[in-house]
Amino acid sequence: MRRALAALLATGLVIGALAGCAGTPRGQLPGPVPAGVEFRLAPDDAPPAPPLTLELTDGTTLDLAEQWAERPVVLVFFESWCTRCTGQQGPINDVVEEYEDQVLFLGVANLSDPGDVAAYVEENDITYPVAVDPTGDAWLRYAVAEAPLVALVGKDGGLLRGWPEGVTGRELGATIAELAVR
């Protein structure tokens, strides 16, 4: 009986390890910036992006200033009940896949229950990290009146572009190529 249980456990661990190797794990920060990738600097007149420290849904703390020291950051402000957010998420996921290790994408919910956020992440196949901002500080600093809002921050922390009503995947990808990644 113990042998059978041990074999079953070992098989489960192997299958779990192999499954983890297929694609980017959900909610993980991007890996190292690939060799040869170059980033554009923000124009001199770009306002500085407000720095934030957020707690991700997995409990880790993320300092955005540390992140944009390495790469551009796209902030996706959403709520779990926002139908416009849901409608834009699939095309945003395509851009995430295109810029996987070059740009950090971060979802930020505010009023949504953490359980509803987890369900939204699963239902919309979101692979990038997500934070819940229960105090609304991040939303206030980025002047988010309502979701969706998407903001592009350059590698150096300059606020490059914001979309107060969300953005199409095509426009987001084109703007990242134009303003952030060479």
Structure token pair of residue 86: 């849901």
DSSP state of 1: -
CB 59 within 8 A of CB 145: no
Q: How much is the pLDDT for 28?
A: 87
Query: pTM for the complete prediction?
Result: 0.86
pLDDT in the model for residue 25: 66
Q: State the residue for tokens 């983890």.
A: 20
Distance CA 67, CA 14 (A): 33
Show pLDDT as tens, one digit a residue, over the chain (182 residues): 444 333 333 333 333 333 333 445 678 899 999 999 999 999 999 999 999 999 999 999 999 999 999 999 999 999 999 999 999 999 999 999 999 899 999 999 999 999 999 999 999 999 999 999 999 999 999 999 999 999 999 999 999 999 999 999 999 999 999 999 99
**Residue 88's closest CA among 104, 76, 98, 100?**
76
